[in-house]
Chain A
Amino acid sequence: AQSVTQPDIHITVSEGASLELRCNYSYGATPYLFWYVQSPGQGLQLLLKYFSGDTLVQGIKGFEAEFKRSQSSFNLRKPSVHWSDAAEYFCAVTGGGNKLTFGTGTQLKVEL
C-alpha cells in the first residue's frame, strides 16, 4: 500500500530564510508525487507535481522539489520565504489514475 510520511509537524522560519519541507513516500512502482498548500479555511492548491523526467521540478510561488528515488524522498524547497507562505503543506502520492494518499502535513510559520 502506498503511504507518505512528513516528519515535521511544525516548522518556523524567518522571512527571507530558505525552507525545506521533508517528504518520504512508500510505493511499489514509479510514483506520481505532488505538493499541495492549504491556507486556513481554503481548499488545497497544487504547488507542483512529478511524473517522470527531470527530477528537479519547478512549481508556482517560487517553490521547487527534488525527486530522489534512492531515498524515496520528494522534498520541497524555497530559497527565500515570504510571510504569505505561512500555511499547511501536504505531500501526496498516487500510482496514476488512482487515489491520492496524503501525508499528515507540515504547518509552516513565518516570523517577520
Chain B
Amino acid sequence: EAGVAQSPRYKIIEKRQSVAFWCNPISGHATLYWYQQILGQGPKLLIQFQNNGVVDDSQLPKDRFSAERLKGVDSTLKIQPAKLEDSAVYLCASSQQGSDGYTFGSGTRLTVV
C-alpha cells in the first residue's frame, strides 16, 4: 500500500511570499488532515476534511491560510502571505475512520526568511 505523499519536501521563501503544499492521501481514505509542527512542539491540527468537505478548520489562520480538497482526493494547503512564524513542518495525514490511527506523510519543511 502506498503511503501518504507530500511535496515538496523542503521550501525556503521570503516573508510576504506565497507558498503551496500538496498532499495525496492513501487511496480510499475519506478523511484528510493538515497539521503544523513548529520546532520543539507537537503537531497541531490546521484543518480536517471528510471527502471534499471541511469538518474542522477552527485553528486555521484564515486570513493567510487556505486549503482545498477537490474531488475528495488530493489536497493543497496555501499560505499567502507567509510570516516568519509560519516556519514549521506541515504534515498531511489520512485515515479511513478517525479512530483507527492515522497515516502521516513525511511532511514539508517550510523556512520563511
* Interfacial residues, chain A to chain B (CB-CB below 8 A): 4, 32, 34, 36, 41-46, 49, 51, 90, 92, 94, 96-105
Known: A97-B97, A99-B33. A104 touches B41 (CB 8 A): yes
In the complex the two chains form, is A49's CB within 8 Å of B101's CB?
A: yes
Cβ contacts under 8 Å, B107 to chain A = 42-43
Min distance, Cβ A40 to any Cβ of chain B, angstroms: 11
Our count of residue pairs bridging A and B at CB distance below 8 angstroms stands at 55
Residue of chain B at shortest CB distance from A6: B42
Among A92, A94, A102, A104: residue with most chain B CB under 10 A: A102
B76 CB, min distance to chain A CBs, angstroms: 18
For chain B, which range describes its interface: under 10, 10 to 19, 20 to 34, or 35 or more residues?
A: 20 to 34
Q: Nearest chain A CB to B23's CB is how many angstroms away?
A: 11
> Pick the contact of B105 from A43, A51, A92 — CB < 8 Å?
A43
- Most chain B C-beta atoms within 10 Å of own C-beta, residue among A42, A92, A97, A104: A97
Which B residues lie at the A interface, using CB under 8 A?
4, 33, 40-45, 48, 56, 91, 93, 97-99, 101-107, 109
Q: Is the CB of A96 within 8 A of B40?
A: no
Look across to chain B and name the residue whose beta carbon is closest to the beta carbon of A36.
B104
Contact A102 B44 (CB under 8 A): yes
- CB-based nearest A residue for B109: A41
Q: Which residues of A contact B103 (CB under 8 A)?
A: 46
A-B contact pairs, 6 of them (CB 8 A): A43-B91, A46-B103, A94-B98, A100-B33, A100-B43, A105-B40
Q: Kindly list 20 other residue pairs between chains A and B, CB separation below 8 angstroms, not including A90-B43, A99-B48, A104-B40.
A: A32-B99, A41-B109, A42-B106, A43-B4, A43-B91, A43-B106, A43-B107, A51-B99, A90-B42, A94-B98, A94-B99, A97-B98, A98-B56, A99-B45, A100-B45, A100-B102, A101-B45, A102-B42, A104-B42, A105-B41
